[in-house]
């Protein structure tokens, strides 16, 4: 039986089918430094002695490490699968014949539940040995680990944080696409980073994350993904008493965060900060090493620049020389202030023109900045509030991760705060782009020496000399500031605005990216949002209703007032319509007039039917609002209790999670056209029509429509 020299077979967990084959050993753990305590016993051979689980999971300060080996707590007794994401399973590279649960053997089901609930080492030896015969892929072995990272929480650096209840099970690679994935169990028990917590997750928060990761991804915004959710017998104690426990298997290409860099920066651990940065450049973004010929060419350019400056200085008068020196000092101060302004959301001054070399670390920061801009642009366009945008919750890949007290907007309110723990409104909906800039500024601080070193970043001896001298290190930071400012301007501000314009134009039926006009944002989109805010308009209903607006053969809004009134009446609540409907109609003209004019100027846009179809492909009919999530949680929890009590009562919600998962993954409503069956369902005294698609899954039904009074403005806390 072969094994990696870094992980003895006696210490590893077998990964059974139908789960995808693990990459063995893990690229992450074999490339980066491990926690010294958890690495004990990881030498291979007969003498290897595994560290006891009780020691591995003991909360402690971990230094000089990017991760710690730790085994999930065995919660497999009485655990069962609540939902399996067969659509995403295909992306992982799982064999087509094993995508659906109905195609698993009883043994495969039992072994999968064991692995995903921490009991993988209970898999019988015969089964484990059978898994080793898969051609030349290597053994189906994994050694789980937890990430070590720090982070700023609500604006203040909090020191060591880390995966307190999430444990990475293993890495895999889709054999067809070559895309890497890291499977992680959330709620899998204590780790060295649990501090005073228990490492568990409650069912309600697990359902929220399981569903929302797929909902956000389906709305074309970067997100972690969900593979499975399991119910466990663990009773988890939270503020309101005991709650049923659960484990989510969530997946991402990488779980590295801004805080992964911060912990080494604030500990002044330059060695491991460099190792992590190199790993992200090489393995996450696949950036090439800096070309020596290219750096030599830049050095020559830079030398000529300084020679010219020296010649100019020699030709100047003493007074002029003094003034130039003062100007240079002032420009440096201005550049530094501009960086602070950038992360605070203030206008950014363009850096002075002088030779700058972007090495691979600057390119890495540029990629992270670009991806973050696209992510938060998506959030603003789909009306998504993250709730806890701490730097430890920011992915270097620009993915939405760590779904806690999130919310999709109900009525449009830019000041909405979905996290009731956020008493100052730091992470309100309108603050999200600015907070991303602030967080990028914190990340830039950790990388500024490498960025500032420019073409000499691989001259380790020279760089060490600069870092050991405070005055020389100051020059590194000054050199970095110009590059960082330029990246924040071009790769965040410009990218954000471009992407946001394109998304909002598509939502409003104003055409594809090549049809965007600069004035659309200021004359149509922003006034429309203000009108929505003034009249408490449902954000998502607005765009679906706007798709029904017909310009027909009219040339002006005055000729189309019946359509305008119908649109406004549909969007306003009956009470508001009676109290001030006509006033709302008049105020709507501020954005409807330029909107109408913009549409009728284009033969493509004024085709009402085609425009409606395009809009309904980007504006969801189903939205995982907080009231929907709350209703699903209540019903699934009741269903879980029936299962555990072995109730004989019929359980209509046994497959509810699968049905709602399908809605999250297909939110736009086009599937309703192929529905084959219509049922009348009564919920809380209200009868609604439920359509079922060809697969027999509920197509939206009761979860689409006006927000019930009890469900308006639901906030959540960080507790889960």
Residue-wise pLDDT tens digits, 449-495: 999 999 999 999 999 999 999 999 999 999 999 999 999 999 999 99
- Six-digit token string for 698: 């509920």
C-alpha distances in Å from residue 54, one per residue of 43, 164, 189, 201, 579: 20, 15, 11, 19, 65
Question: Helix 432-452 crosses helix 318-344 at what angle (to 10 degrees)?
Answer: 140
> Which pLDDT does position 502 carry in this prediction?
98
Confidence of residue 691 (pLDDT cuts 50, 70, 90): low
pLDDT exceeds 90 at position 546: yes
- Over residues 518-539, the pLDDT tens digits come to 899 999 999 999 999 999 999 9
Give the length of the chain. Answer: 720
Q: What is the pLDDT of residue 677?
A: 59
Q: ∠ CA(489), CA(493), CA(497), 5° rounding?
A: 145
Which residue in this structure is represented by tokens 């990964």?
15
pLDDT > 90: what percent of the chain?
71
Distance of CA 559 to the CA centre of its chain: 45
Residue (of 16, 132, 120) closest to 71 by Cα position = 120
Interval 29-39 mean pLDDT: 92
Helix, coil or strand: residue 715: coil
What is the SS3 assignment for 6-56? Answer: CCCHHHCEECCCCCCCECCCCHHHHHCCECHHHHCCCCCCCCCCCCCHHHH
| 3-state class percentages of the chain: helix first, strand second, coil last, to nearest 5 | 50, 15, 35
Contact 259, 105 (CB under 8 A): no
What is the pLDDT at residue 13?
86
Q: If 0-12 CB within 10 Å is exposed, 13-18 middle and 19+ buried, where does residue 676 land?
A: exposed
Which residue, 541, 622, 551, 556, is CA-closest to 589? 556
Looking at every residue in the chain, the average pLDDT score rounds to 87
Active site residues: 392
pLDDT in tens, 394-432: 999 999 999 999 999 999 999 999 999 999 999 999 999
Q: What does R_g of the chain's alpha carbons equal in angstroms? A: 28
Task: Specify the pTM.
Answer: 0.89
CA dihedral for 158, 159, 164, 168, sign (positive or negative): positive
Letter string b/e over residues 329-367, b meaning 16 or more CB atoms within 10 A of that residue's CB: eebbeebeebbebbbeeeebbebeeeebbbbbbbbbbbb
pLDDT in tens, 120-153: 988 876 665 665 555 567 788 899 999 999 999 9
């Amino acid at each position: 039986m072969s094994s990696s020299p870094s992980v003895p077979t006696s210490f590893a967990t077998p990964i059974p089918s139908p789960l995808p084959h693990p990459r063995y050993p893990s690229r992450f753990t074999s490339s980066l430094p491990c926690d010294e305590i958890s690495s004990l016993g990881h030498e291979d051979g007969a003498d290897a002695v595994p560290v006891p689980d009780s020691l591995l999971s003991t909360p402690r300060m971990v230094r000089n490490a990017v991760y710690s080996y730790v085994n999930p707590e065995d919660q497999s007794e009485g655990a069962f699968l609540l939902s399996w994401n067969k659509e995403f399973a295909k992306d992982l590279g799982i064999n087509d014949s094993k995508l659906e649960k109905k195609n698993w053997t009883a043994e495969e089901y039992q072994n999968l539940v064991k692995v995903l609930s921490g009991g993988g080492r209970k898999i019988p030896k015969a089964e484990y040995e059978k898994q080793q015969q898969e051609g030349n892929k290597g053994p189906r072995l994994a050694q789980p680990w937890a990430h070590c990272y720090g982070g700023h929480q609500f604006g203040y650096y909090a020191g060591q944080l880390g995966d307190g209840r999430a444990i990475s099970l293993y890495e895999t690679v889709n054999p067809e696409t070559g895309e890497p994935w890291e499977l992680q169990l959330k709620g899998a028990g204590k780790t060295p980073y649990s501090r005073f917590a228990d490492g568990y997750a409650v069912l309600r928060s697990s359902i929220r994350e399981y569903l929302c990761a797929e909902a956000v991804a389906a709305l074309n915004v970067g997100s972690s993904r969900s593979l499975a959710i399991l119910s466990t017998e663990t009773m988890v104690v939270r503020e309101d008493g005991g709650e049923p426990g659960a484990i989510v298997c969530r997946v991402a290409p990488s779980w590295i965060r801004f805080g992964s860099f911060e912990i080494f920066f604030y500990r002044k651990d330059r060695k491991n900060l460099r190792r992590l940065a190199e790993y992200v450049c090489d393995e996450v973004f696949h950036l090439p090493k800096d070309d020596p010929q290219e750096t030599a060419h830049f050095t020559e350019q830079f030398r000529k620049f300084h020679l010219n400056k020296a010649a100019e200085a020699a030709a100047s008068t003493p007074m002029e020389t003094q003034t130039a020196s003062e100007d240079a000092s002032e420009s440096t101060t201005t550049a530094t202030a501009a960086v602070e302004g950038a992360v605070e959301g203030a206008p950014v001054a363009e850096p002075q023109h002088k030779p700058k070399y972007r090495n691979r670390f600057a390119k890495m920061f540029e990629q992270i900045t670009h991806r973050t801009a696209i992510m938060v642009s998506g959030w603003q366009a789909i009306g998504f509030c993250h709730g806890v945008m701490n730097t430890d919750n920011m992915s270097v890949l620009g993915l939405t991760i760590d779904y806690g007290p999130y919310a999709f907007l109900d009525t449009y309110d830019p000041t909405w705060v979905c996290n009731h723990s956020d008493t100052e409104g730091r992470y309100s909906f309108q603050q999200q782009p600015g907070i991303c800039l602030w967080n990028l500024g914190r990340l830039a601080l950790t990388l500024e020496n490498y960025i500032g070193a420019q073409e000499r970043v691989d001259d380790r001896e020279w760089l060490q000399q600069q870092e050991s001298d405070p005055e020389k290190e100051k020059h590194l930071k000054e050199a970095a500031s110009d590059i960082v400012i330029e990246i924040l301007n071009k790769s965040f501000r410009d990218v954000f605005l471009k992407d946001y314009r394109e998304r909002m134009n598509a939502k409003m039926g104003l055409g594809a990216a090549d049809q965007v006009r600069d004035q659309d944002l200021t004359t149509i989109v922003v006034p429309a949002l203000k009108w929505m805010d003034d009249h408490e308009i449902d954000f998502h209903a607005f765009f679906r209703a706007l798709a029904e607006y017909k310009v027909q053969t009219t040339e002006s809004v005055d000729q189309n007032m019946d359509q305008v009134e119908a649109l406004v009446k549909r969007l306003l609540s009956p009470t508001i319509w009676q109290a001030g409907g006509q006033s709302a109609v008049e105020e709507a003209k501020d954005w409807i007039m330029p909107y109408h004019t913009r549409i009728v100027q284009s033969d493509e846009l004024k085709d009402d039917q085609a425009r409606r179809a395009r809009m309904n492909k980007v504006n969801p009919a189903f939205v995982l609002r907080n009231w929907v999530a709350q209703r699903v949680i209540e019903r699934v929890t009741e269903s879980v209790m029936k299962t555990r009590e072995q109730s004989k009562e019929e359980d209509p919600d046994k497959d509810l999670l699968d049905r709602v998962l399908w809605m999250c993954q297909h939110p736009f409503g086009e599937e309703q056209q192929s529905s084959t069956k219509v049922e009348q369902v009564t919920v809380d005294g209200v009868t609604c029509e439920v359509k079922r698609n060809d697969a027999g899954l509920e197509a939206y039904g009761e979860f689409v429509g006006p927000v019930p009074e009890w469900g308006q403005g639901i906030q959540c806390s960080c507790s889960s």
